[in-house]
């Protein structure tokens, strides 16, 4: 989704800004732009499509400068087009890049139009540029005060970076509900919405807190809090590698990430489960003390992370912990009754999903017992805002459609479940713990099905809709399989608990409707099989992902089977998602869609 890079340097800043934008590409965007300011005034270059198109245009324009702002845009208000791309300017004096959404922009726009401002884009962001310009004129040319005055009139979520031609040596940046970090170089200072954009130029970062404003010049930087008082914030060293991750021998990042799953599962287990034993030293004593008291859990997440919550619900309930799993966007706007000793658990790959962050903020005002983030990014806003963290250790995930992050979320959540049981002195069958140590090899076995899955995927090449069925945890995994197929191939894929089939979806089933089913070897297998016979009786074509021990005699010859071998009960659903990921990937290859950056989607959704 939208990304910001900006800074004040002693050298030409344009290559640094363009490199920063390239590093933000994985987040998903549809246009990009850069603006610099020097004694000759404001110069801007914008382009639709990939950052590479912007790089070509910048070269032709010979854009140069020491102070600049840059942006990748993911369209919210107004189509993806050059006129809607950032930076937006006002009176050739102010330039602004904006992440987020200004909810009251129509009122502001009307008021500015009355004051004589002309708009050249359809965006909410352009209103911010004009508003800052208006404030800049009124307060005698203090850019920081102008930004603070403009921001006080905005509703919504935003991160902004701004410069003015009349004070061409500085950048002002601020945040409200959207992340922003200050990067400290040597004699040069930057801001960005994601520290990864700045790793080639610095390792030292200061995270802006809610409603902070920062002023950066070539001489230094100063942060002001919401009351506009100078304030000190902690500086942290980032230890991530600055290298842009390559695809290695794989065609796509998604393919690479799927094949990394055995390794990242092992990483997630490391130090937490060893020789069939839970390693208590893996967690802080106060976290374990908290787990001993937990009676209920509210899980909040979005997208794939929400599905991870659905999978773990039944395990937590089996352990006696009442569990509620909810989309963050729904949780945000309803009355919430919090029961005593309820732990709030947010699940997020990125740790910067706007809805999940806002849900945590809401939860903190309620009577929760404690706050845990299950997250993949150690320095993310979600981790910083939570009292406890369980890192998923999937490594950086570039493909927009989440794969390895999901599998590691499941492993981490199972670990959480086991630790709660242990902390509450409940009996744990050692065989269950040991099963996790064998999971990496089960993941490898699933990946070995790649060729067979590619073959079966051909039957979806010309389809526009299909159903996914599962039961229990299998339903949650089917829902994730359907989401992967939708995201990657743009086929309408709907998941149902198979018991619900006869309450509506069966009306869709005929000989042109593929029905994709997942059956693991458990107490629900026979029920699943009965539901598949209902599909078969109406001519539906079944693609079945099943454990080899499942009795398949009732299925007709048209059924295409992907034999998962013998999975272990405790980890079956974790392993079984991998064939569904591969299936979606191969259908997307056949359809020729953009696997790593599907249309209209973003890796980190930083707007509501």
String of DSSP letters for 362-379: HHHTTT-SEEEEEES-TT
- Does the active-site annotation cover 362? no
Q: What is the rounded distance in angstroms from the CA atom of residue 83 to the CA atom of residue 100?
A: 18
Q: What x-and-dash track marks residues 268-307 binding ligand G6P by CB under 6 A?
A: ----------------------------------xxxx--
Residue among 195 and 305 whose Cβ is closer to ligand G6P: 305
| Packed helices 14-24 and 51-61: angle between N→C axes, nearest 10 degrees | 170
Torsional sign, CA 132, 133, 137, 140:
positive
493/516 Cα distance (integer angstroms): 10
Annotation marks residue 57 as catalytic: no
Determine which one of 2, 45, 302, 443 is catalytic. Answer: 2
Least separation in angstroms between residue 480's CB and ligand G6P is 9
Cα 176 from Cα 210, distance rounded (Å): 5
- For 124-148, b/e burial (b = at least 16 CB within 10 A) is bbbbbbbbbbbbbeeeeeebbbbbb
* Residue with smaller CB distance to ligand G6P, 126 or 355: 355
Name which of 215 and 596 has its Cβ closer to ligand G6P: 596
Element (H, E) at 456: helix 450-457
Strands 388-391 and 342-348: unpaired
Q: How far is the CB of 223 from ligand G6P (least distance, A)?
A: 27
Adjacency order of strands within the sheet including 492-497: 492-497, 465-470, 514-519, 541-546, 560-563
Q: How far is the CB of 375 from ligand G6P (least distance, A)?
A: 8
CB of 496 to ligand G6P, least distance (A): 20
Binding mask 377-406 for ligand G6P (x = CB under 6 A): -----------------------xxx----
Residue numbers 332-351 binding ligand G6P by CB under 6 A: 348-350
Output 89 or 350, the one with its CB closest to ligand G6P: 350
Residue 55 near residue 97 (C-beta atoms within 8 A)? no
377 or 466, CB closer to ligand G6P? 377
477 φ, ψ to 5°?
-70, -40
| Contact string (CB under 6 A) for ligand G6P, positions 415-454, x = contact | ----------------------------------------
The size of the interface with ligand G6P (CB under 6 A), counted in residues, is 16
- Name the active-site residue from 256, 313, 541, 603: 603
356 lies in the site for ligand G6P, by CB under 6 A:
yes
* Minimum CB–partner distance for residue 186 and ligand G6P (Å): 33
User: Which CB atom, from 215 or from 260, has the smaller least distance to ligand G6P?
Assistant: 260
Cα R_g (the chain), whole angstroms: 26
Please name the residues in contact with 493: beta carbons below 8 A apart, sequence gap of 6 or more. 465, 466, 467, 468, 481, 482, 483, 485, 486, 516
Residue 603 near ligand G6P by CB under 6 A:
yes
CA gap 123, 85 in Å, rounded: 9
Rounded Cα distance between 456 and 586, Å, is 9
Residue nearest to ligand G6P (CB): 303
Q: Could you tell me the two tokens for 416? A: 């959480």
Q: Which of 9, 353, 422, 489 binds ligand G6P (CB under 6 A)?
A: 353
**What number of CA atoms fall less than 13 Å from residue 128's CA on the CB side?**
31
The CB-of-367 to ligand G6P minimum distance in angstroms stands at 25
| Residues between 503 and 562 with contacts to ligand G6P, criterion CB under 6 A | none
Smallest distance from the beta carbon of 330 to ligand G6P, in angstroms? 14
Residues that bind ligand G6P (CB under 6 A): 302-305, 348-350, 353, 356, 400-402, 601, 603-605
Residues with catalytic function: 2, 603
């Amino acid at each position: 989704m939208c990304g910001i890079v900006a800074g004040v340097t002693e050298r030409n800043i344009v290559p640094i800004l363009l490199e920063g934008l390239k590093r933000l590409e994985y987040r998903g965007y549809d246009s990009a732009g850069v603006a610099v300011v020097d004694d000759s005034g404001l110069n801007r270059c914008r382009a639709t499509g990939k950052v590479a198109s912007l790089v070509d245009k910048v070269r032709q324009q010979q854009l140069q400068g020491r102070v600049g702002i840059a942006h990748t845009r993911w369209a919210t208000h107004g189509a993806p087009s050059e006129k809607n791309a950032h930076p937006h300017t006002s009176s050739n004096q102010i330039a602004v890049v904006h992440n987020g959404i200004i909810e009251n922009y129509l009122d502001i726009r009307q008021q500015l139009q009355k004051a004589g401002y002309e708009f050249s884009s359809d965006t909410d962001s352009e209103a911010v540029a004009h508003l800052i310009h208006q404030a800049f004129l009124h307060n005698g040319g203090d850019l920081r005060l102008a930004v603070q005055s403009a921001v006080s009139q905005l509703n919504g979520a935003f991160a902004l970076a701004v410069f003015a031609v009349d004070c061409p040596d500085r950048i002002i940046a601020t945040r409200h509900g959207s992340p922003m970090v200050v990067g400290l170089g040597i004699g040069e200072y930057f801001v960005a919405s994601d520290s990864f954009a700045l790793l080639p130029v610095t390792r030292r970062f200061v995270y802006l807190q809610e409603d902070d404003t920062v002023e950066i010049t070539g001489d230094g930087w100063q942060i002001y809090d919401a009351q506009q008082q100078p304030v000190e914030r902690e500086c942290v060293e980032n230890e991530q590698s600055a290298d842009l991750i390559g695809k290695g021998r794989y065609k796509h990042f998604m393919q690479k990430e799927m094949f990394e799953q055995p390794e990242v599962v092992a990483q997630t287990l490391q130090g937490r489960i060893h020789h069939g034993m839970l390693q208590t030293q893996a967690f802080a004593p106060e976290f374990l003390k908290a787990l001993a008291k937990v009676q209920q859990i509210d899980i909040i997440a979005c997208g794939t992370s929400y599905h991870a919550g659905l999978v773990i619900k039944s395990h937590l309930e089996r352990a006696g912990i009442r569990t509620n799993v909810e989309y963050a966007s729904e949780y945000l706007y309803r009355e919430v009754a919090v029961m005593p000793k309820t732990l709030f658990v947010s699940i997020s790959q990125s740790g910067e999903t706007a809805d999940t962050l806002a849900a945590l903020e809401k939860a903190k005002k309620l009577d929760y017992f404690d706050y845990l983030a299950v997250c993949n990014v150690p320095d993310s806003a979600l981790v910083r805002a939570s009292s406890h963290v369980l890192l998923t250790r999937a490594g950086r995930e570039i493909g927009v459609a989440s794969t390895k992050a999901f599998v590691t979320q499941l492993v981490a959540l199972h670990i959480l479940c086991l630790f709660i049981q242990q902390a509450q002195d409940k009996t744990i069958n050692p065989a269950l713990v040991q099963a996790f140590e064998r999971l990496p090899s089960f993941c490898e076995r699933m990946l070995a099905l790649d060729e067979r899955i590619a073959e079966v995927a051909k039957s979806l090449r010309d389809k526009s809709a299909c159903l996914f069925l599962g039961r229990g945890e299998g339903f949650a995994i089917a829902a994730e399989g359907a989401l992967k197929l939708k995201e990657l191939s743009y086929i309408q894929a709907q998941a149902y608990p198979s018991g619900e089939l006869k309450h509506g979806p069966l009306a869709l089933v005929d000989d042109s409707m593929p029905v994709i089913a997942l059956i693991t070897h458990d107490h629900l297998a026979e029920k699943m099989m009965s539901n598949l016979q209902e599909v078969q009786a109406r001519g539906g074509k079944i693609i079945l992902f099943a454990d080899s021990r499942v009795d398949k005699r009732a299925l007709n010859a048209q059924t295409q089977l992907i034999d998962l071998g013998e999975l272990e009960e405790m980890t079956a659903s974790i392993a079984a998602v991998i064939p569904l990921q591969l299936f979606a990937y191969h259908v997307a290859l056949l359809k020729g869609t953009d696997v790593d950056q599907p249309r209209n989607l973003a890796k980190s959704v930083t707007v509501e």
